[in-house]
Chains A and B, each alone.
Chain A
């Protein structure tokens, strides 16, 4: 199924365009990286507030209100530019285990973030009180989310160096 998807994508004018314009892939990667700085910057600030290291005078509700929209826009840019990078070389990334590991880590980071914020909201005071300290289990999840983002970057960088799995198209 992946093979036929790659063959179809590779036959589209999109792949032809990205292959023929030498500036296209670096440009797409620049937007990918700028969007990473937005998502990772926002995740770092919000999760370090939950841990209680920075922004202790700000409620988590106020922080998430500020960072939700830019994060969602940046995630959409990451998905779009990520798809373009796959389209530029359809037989590469999706045939590497690391790419799918990265997608799983991404799902875990986004899912845990949604769960953590929902949990804090249920807790009432911890969410909207600027001076609130967050219970240890929540703080642990916040640290885990930050480690997941680091792992996502590591996986993303190594995709560029990894070999395809056995039997993948060359």
Chain B
């Protein structure tokens, strides 16, 4: 089964048809998507700005990250489920949309950046003394995260203008 077949199969499922043909289901899922990603990105930006050194400088970066991580992940999971449902409604439209594909690439890069943060930055960050200077990798990680997530929002909004309603 090729990717093309899988997309065609998904598009023919009752779930896809139901989302596509209802007047209120798609906009309602969009609302959940926006609420969830607003919370997730808001929290991510707070941590990023701390890592870059632009905000919350009196908080230990390690402590701030720990406090906001559950909120970020919870909201991110909801945003992802809502996003997958939106995709399920029109899979053939989205997979042929350049902004959608770009958004997926940026999401993957943001995920890699997050994994790299957990693997290589979190430990050195935890050993920084109070008021000490964070390692350069922390600032790079925060900057990349800000740039990548902004890119995700840009592509996400442009999808709506380049796919037919």
Contact = CB atoms under 8 A, between A and B. Distances in A.
The answer to whether A and B assemble together is yes
Contacts, number: 74
Interface of A (DSSP majority class): helix
B12 interface: no
10 contacts: A26-B158, A38-B45, A45-B43, A45-B46, A57-B63, A150-B35, A157-B30, A157-B31, A158-B31, A161-B27
Interface of B (DSSP majority class): helix
Contact of A48 (B30, B55, B71, B153): B71
A71 to B, nearest CB: 10
Interface of B: 27, 30-31, 34-35, 37-39, 41-43, 45-46, 55-56, 59, 63, 67-68, 70-71, 150, 153-154, 157-158, 160-161
Interface of A: 25-26, 29-30, 33-34, 36-42, 44-45, 48, 54-55, 57-58, 66, 70, 150, 153-154, 156-158, 160-161
B33 to A, nearest CB: 9
A45 B34 contact: no
Given A41-B43, A41-B46, A44-B71, 4 more contacts: A29-B157, A45-B71, A157-B34, A158-B27
A159 to B, nearest CB: 10
